[in-house]
């Protein structure tokens, strides 16, 4: 059975075609800069050279079409026809309290995803376009929605509730949901297996462009840093993470902007980009800091500091921690971020092995010293495989 997994982000589309007989990736790739100048598709068929093409992609539906064409291309394709695809699994950000377990896409599911646009303004619209483009391009094939909220949905009430009048929870289900759930579930589950300890206390730092951190015991969520929307918590590429809500009122009043405009600023112009003034991409900020750009240095210090604070809070929440795991674009690749985070964790009994940290090569690696009380691990996330597994269960 071949499953196509589609992960639509705000300006990108990541995909994998997976043969579920042996979970081998037949092809994977990414469409970047969707909706902007210079859209590009990078397609990597297994065992063949990668194929890169710059093509206009005004929206995600065009990107889906290009992906399906690339998969069937006589030269760099891996299937003869889209008929070979049994089902499509989609990462979907938010469906409130209505759906959080993986489900077959129906008209009602699409309606709920649409109703939640304001809770996931960067993701939900793209997710829905991705689903509808697949329905159109491959009529009759089952589409499965795998929700980013599945992991956080089960956190205890004391962690999920905001201390605001209870009626807003009753009326509108205003609570903390948490996101990157597919990743936190996959990575914490793999860590429990790696440690061989069923009740392992694990902190997962999913640090990519979006970033969140979770605490779990035996793979079950205790707490996670994103809230009602993916804006709460860590400092991200363009998102502020935690701010005093009174900041919104002050800036709206003084700059004469609406709350919607302010939220757009917190989502798209803040974080590493806003603080450094350089870029939302960590690599650019690290480079600028190396060239003595003071704001870039400050942005990095604040970025690391926020992660350190959350790790401390989550170790306290679980009354201990067995492993701290780094994953996603930054977590898997940035030697200095991992090193600087671990520098402040000596009090927990964390001892990083500098050499091991520098020699991580794309696979799972333990980067703490043999004597470290807490294991520090780099474990590549695989949201696409986890989504494909959920998809298979439903078709």
Ligand X SMILES: CC(=O)OP(=O)(O)O
Ligand Y SMILES: Nc1ncnc2c1ncn2[C@@H]1O[C@H](COP(=O)(O)OP(=O)(O)O)[C@@H](O)[C@H]1O
Q: Closest approach of Cβ 30 to ligand X, in Å?
A: 12
Count of residues interacting with Mg ion (CB under 5 A): 1
Q: Is 148 a catalytic residue?
A: yes
Q: Could you tell me which of 39, 98, 94 has the C-alpha nearest to residue 64? A: 39
Residue 10 lies near ligand Y (rule: CB under 6 A): no
Q: How many helices (H) and strands (E) does the chain have?
A: 15, 14
* H-run or E-run covering 180: none
The residues in 157-216 that bind Mg ion, with binding defined as CB under 5 A, are 208
Question: Please, what is the Cα angle at 319 between 97 and 367, to 5 degrees?
Answer: 95
* H-run or E-run covering 62: helix 60-72
329 binds, among Mg ion, ligand Y, ligand X, none (CB under 5 to 8 A by kind): ligand Y
95 neighbors 113 (Cβ within 8 angstroms): yes
329 labelled ligand-binding: yes
Nearer of residues 146 and 348 to ligand Y, judged by Cβ: 146
333 binds, among Mg ion, ligand Y, ligand X, none (CB under 5 to 8 A by kind): ligand Y
One residue of 209, 214, 229, 270 binding ligand Y per CB under 6 A = 209
43 neighbors 128 (Cβ within 8 angstroms): no
One residue of 333, 357, 372, 382 binding ligand Y per CB under 6 A = 333
Nearer of residues 10 and 39 to ligand X, judged by Cβ: 10
One residue of 28, 110, 176, 180 binding ligand X per CB under 6 A = 180
One residue of 5, 9, 92, 278 binding ligand X per CB under 6 A = 9
Residue 271 lies near Mg ion (rule: CB under 5 A): no
One residue of 127, 188, 191, 209 binding ligand X per CB under 6 A = 209
How far is Cα of residue 360 from the mean position of the Cα atoms in its chain? 21
157's tokens:
């009430």
237 labelled ligand-binding: no
299's tokens:
């942005």
Residue 310 main-chain phi, psi, to 5 deg = -65, -40
30's tokens:
């990414």
378 neighbors 338 (Cβ within 8 angstroms): yes
The whole-angstrom separation of Cα 224 and Cα 217 is 12
- Catalytic site residue from 19, 101, 115, 148: 148
Residue 105 lies near ligand Y (rule: CB under 6 A): no
How far is Cα of residue 39 from the mean position of the Cα atoms in its chain? 21
Which residues participate in catalysis according to the annotation?
148
Known binding residues for ATP: 14, 206-210, 281-283, 329-333
Give residues in contact with Mg ion (CB under 5 A): 208
Residues that bind ligand X (CB under 6 A): 9, 93, 148, 179-180, 208-210, 230
């Amino acid at each position: 059975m071949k499953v196509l997994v589609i992960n639509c982000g705000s300006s990108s589309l990541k995909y994998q075609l997976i043969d579920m007989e042996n979970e081998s990736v037949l092809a994977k790739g990414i469409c970047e800069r969707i909706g902007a100048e210079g859209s590009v598709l990078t397609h990597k068929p297994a065992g063949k050279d990668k194929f890169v093409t710059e093509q206009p992609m005004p929206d995600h539906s065009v990107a889906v079409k290009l992906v399906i064409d690339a998969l069937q291309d006589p030269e760099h394709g891996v299937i003869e026809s889209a008929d070979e695809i049994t089902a499509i699994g989609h990462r979907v950000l938010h469906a409130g309290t209505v759906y959080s377990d993986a489900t077959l896409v129906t008209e009602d599911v699409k309606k709920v995803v649409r109703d939640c646009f304001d809770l996931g303004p960067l993701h939900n619209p793209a997710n829905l376009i991705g689903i509808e483009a697949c329905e159109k391009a491959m009529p009759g094939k089952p589409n499965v929605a795998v929700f980013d909220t599945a992991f956080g949905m089960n956190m205890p009430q004391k962690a999920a509730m905001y201390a605001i009048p209870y009626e807003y929870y009753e009326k509108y289900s205003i609570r903390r949901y948490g996101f990157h759930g597919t990743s936190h579930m996959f990575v914490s589950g793999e860590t429990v297996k790696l440690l061989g300890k069923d009740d392992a206390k694990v902190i997962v730092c999913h640090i990519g462009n979006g970033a969140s951190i979770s605490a779990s015991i035996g793979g079950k969520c205790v707490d996670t840093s994103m809230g009602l929307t993916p804006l709460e918590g860590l400092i991200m590429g363009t998102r502020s993470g935690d701010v005093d809500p009174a900041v919104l009122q002050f800036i709206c009043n003084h700059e004469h902007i609406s709350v919607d405009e302010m939220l757009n600023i917190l989502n798209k112009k803040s974080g590493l980009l806003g603080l450094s003034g350089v870029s939302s991409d960590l690599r650019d900020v690290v480079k600028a800091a190396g060239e003595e750009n003071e704001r870039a240095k400050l942005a990095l210090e604040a970025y690391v500091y926020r992660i350190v604070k959350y790790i401390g809070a989550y170790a306290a929440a679980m009354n201990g921690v067995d492993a701290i795991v780094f994953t996603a674009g930054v977590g898997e690749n940035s030697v200095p971020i991992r090193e600087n985070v671990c520098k402040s964790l000596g009090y927990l009994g964390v001892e990083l092995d500098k050499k091991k940290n520098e020699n991580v090569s794309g696979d799972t690696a333990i980067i703490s010293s043999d004597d470290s009380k807490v294991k520090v691990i780099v474990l590549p996330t695989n949201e696409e495989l986890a989504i494909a597994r959920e998809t298979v269960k439903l078709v």
